Structure 1
Amino acid sequence: MPGKRRAIVIHSPHSGRAPQLEEALKLLQEADIELVRVEPITNLNELPSQGSTWLAQGIDLAIAAGGDGLVGGMIRHVIKEGPPLAILPLGTANDTARSLAIPQDLPGAVEVIVGGQEAAIDVGMALPAEASSPASGPGDEEAASDYFCHTLTIGLNVEFARLATSSEMRERFGAMTYPLAALEALRAHEPLEVVLDFEEPSGSLAAQQQCQGQAQAVAELRYQVLQVAVINAPVFGGPLQLSIPGASVTDHLLDIVVVQGLDWKEIASAIGQLFAGGESEQSEAGEGATGHPAELTALPGLHHWRASGVTISTPAGPCEATLDGEVKGKTPITVRIAPERLRVLVPTTWQAQTAETGT
């Protein structure tokens, strides 16, 4: 884009690589990007969408300098009206940035901001189940919804996120915060009963159901689980670069993964097979762990579906959910692909994988 870019930089003081913010800002200025404002994400917490305001101020780029939670928190400000989003991966895992092939080193990330291409990607939208009922209008949904780019979780990861994002715990334990939070979450967590009600599937799921003579809508399912993850961006595990085969940020579908087993060796093996592409597609006869026509995996203790949306409820009472690692929302909750797409800067070599072709 010709001319000098004018950017607002939104950062998180508590992100994993927050001490590198000053270095990142210097690199941006050296790349001839005018930094109009630099603000912590907390300044935006109580404000309505700021995208149109930023455009009116001549800002043509919004930079998220932080991790997955910060990127998720920026979506509502730019998705409907606002400048494109750029990412400086200053978080701990940076799975959203990894899903978009954005380099983890700061010079490489700045190079994408300066010379990358603009892509339109899917984002997830979460809203209270009552706001998604037929009696609700689009305005009701918009007012009640929140967004995520990477994943929404219910169960084990919620307690982990509560501990891992605690500023007190981060200040006390530093780099050991994540492993200690994981151990404490595992120690305290108990299985949770969830009910999954899928919105109509599309693509391969719809074709699979039709060839089996099944109804188009996927039936309600009930499980005792450790965790439910509704996934938009496919990369997990930070530097481990684990990825769900066939998942994409441009396929208009969500990957729903339920971890059900109680045997930790079995769970670890199943998750490893899922990320390695070892899950077994259901046969045309509907064989597999559950025999459910929409299920993509037959791995013990783990279930995987792909659909445009799902409503999750917990019969024992409301349970909290995390969106991109931040504790937001409670069950019952409806999760679907947002009607709008997020404009984000990615490397010129980036090409989204598609679930249909696997390319």
Structure 2
Amino acid sequence: MTELRSKADHTKAILRERRVALVVNTHSRRGRRRFPEVAAQLRDAGFRPIGTFAVTDTTRLRKALDAALALEPDLLIVGGGDGTLSTAVKYVAHRDVALGVIPLGTTNNFARSLALPLDVAGAVRVFSDGKVADVDLGLAGDFTFANLSSVGVSAEVAARVRPWLKRLLGRAAYPLTAFTVLPGHRPFRVVLTVDGRRHELLTHQLNIANGRFQGGWQIAKDISIDDRKLVAYQLGSGKRLRLLLETMVRATTGRWRSLAGGPFVVGREMVLDTVPSGMAAEVDGEVLVRTPVTLRAEANGLRVMVPSDFVDT
């Protein structure tokens, strides 16, 4: 693990030296259209990137991030959706470089959890007016996640959602696609052990979140990306009709229910198993682990640029 400057010193270095590198996923929903605007806004704010990387092929994103970090910037600015940013997080975690976020995706859960503006001009303004903060990451087994780890129907939804529908409807494309998947999906049993307490339920989907948002909607008001905790909640229950009704409520109002309508389960470490065991689990949208798996919150695992009024603990 790299020795880090103090957050105050790191903030001063960014504002004084303005040594930044820029990586934009121009294959994302808005990336190609907004890339010239991003470059112009940075220039207007007094930033002259020491390296600029427009990624048209997502398979080359990791190479672009490697090249950008090799320039040793104080601030690595990344433009793209949650998938792009979750990849960048893995590169920046535990390093003496701050991540600057320009949200260009469909749902922008990570940016929302950081209370960042969702427009390009507002996001760039944070680099001049904001501060460096250390926020938490999630770990699922050995894999880092910025937003969410989940097991259940979401893998099918992610595979079926159409790019044209995402472009047309934005974040609403996911719950609407879920309506086509859920009628044929079979529920499964979850055994979740949190801080020594066992929870067992029948469900179609269990989510374990690091941040405050999923699908572009707030999960709950009293959780944070910087509270040293993960939060677990289910989508619907074992009853298909209830699941469809709750998905409809989510699609129209953004309202979330929790474990069978009860409280969210919150803790620093969670052991997730399923019946049957060996179910695939997503880590920020990628199927990387299988149950049983241990998940935990990693305090201050990521250095990021945030608005000056962000509560940094």
TM-score by length of 1: 0.70
Deviations 1:283-321 (A, max 9, x none): xxxxxxxxxxxxxx7x74556211111122223242222
Q: Which structure dedicates a bigger proportion of its chain to strand? A: 2
Q: Which residue of 2 aligns with 1:319?
A: 279
Alignment-mate amino acid for residue 222 of structure 2: G
Q: CA deviation at 1:268?
A: 5.6
1:249 aligned onto 2:225: yes
Q: Which residue of 1 aligns with 2:143?
A: 146
- 8 Å CA contact 2:179–2:244 kept in 1: the answer is no
Partner Cα separation in structure 1 for residue 229 and residue 146 of structure 2: 12
Q: CA deviation at 1:22?
A: 2.6
- 8 Å CA contact 2:26–2:35 kept in 1: the answer is no
Alignment-mate amino acid for residue 153 of structure 2: L
Q: Which has the larger radius of gyration?
A: 1
Alignment-mate amino acid for residue 59 of structure 2: T
> 3-state DSSP class of the match of 1:108?
helix
Partner Cα separation in structure 2 for residue 161 and residue 22 of structure 1: 29
Deviations 1:163-215 (A, max 9, x none): 23xxxx315774255455222222332212222232x3xxxxxxxxxxxxxxx
Partner Cα separation in structure 2 for residue 306 and residue 270 of structure 1: 23
| Closer/same/farther in 2, CA of residues 316 and 300 from structure 1, 3 Å limit | closer
Partner Cα separation in structure 1 for residue 186 and residue 119 of structure 2: 39
Q: Which residue of 2 aligns with 1:25?
A: 39
1:148-163 to structure 2, matched below 5 A, reads 148-163=145-160
1:126 aligned onto 2:140: yes
Partner Cα separation in structure 2 for residue 303 and residue 163 of structure 1: 31
1:86 aligned onto 2:79: no
1:70-109 to structure 2, matched below 5 A, reads 70-109=84-123
Q: Which residue of 1 aligns with 2:197?
A: 218
> 3-state DSSP class of the match of 1:75?
helix
> 3-state DSSP class of the match of 1:247?
coil
Structure 1 unaligned blocks of 5 or more = 128-144, 201-216, 280-296, 355-359
TM-score by length of 2: 0.79
1:38 aligned onto 2:53: yes
Partner Cα separation in structure 1 for residue 69 and residue 140 of structure 2: 26
- 8 Å CA contact 1:5–1:32 kept in 2: the answer is no
Structure 2 unaligned blocks of 5 or more = 1-14
The total of aligned residue pairs comes to: 288
1:347 aligned onto 2:307: yes
The percentage of counterpart residues that share the same residue type is: 28
- 8 Å CA contact 1:116–1:346 kept in 2: the answer is yes
Partner Cα separation in structure 1 for residue 177 and residue 31 of structure 2: 18
**2:185 aligned to which of 182, 186, 189:** 189
Alignment-mate amino acid for residue 43 of structure 1: R
| Closer/same/farther in 2, CA of residues 193 and 12 from structure 1, 3 Å limit | farther
| Closer/same/farther in 2, CA of residues 186 and 236 from structure 1, 3 Å limit | same
Deviations 1:235-289 (A, max 9, x none): 3342xx43413211121011111232422476469979xx879x8xxxxxxxxxx
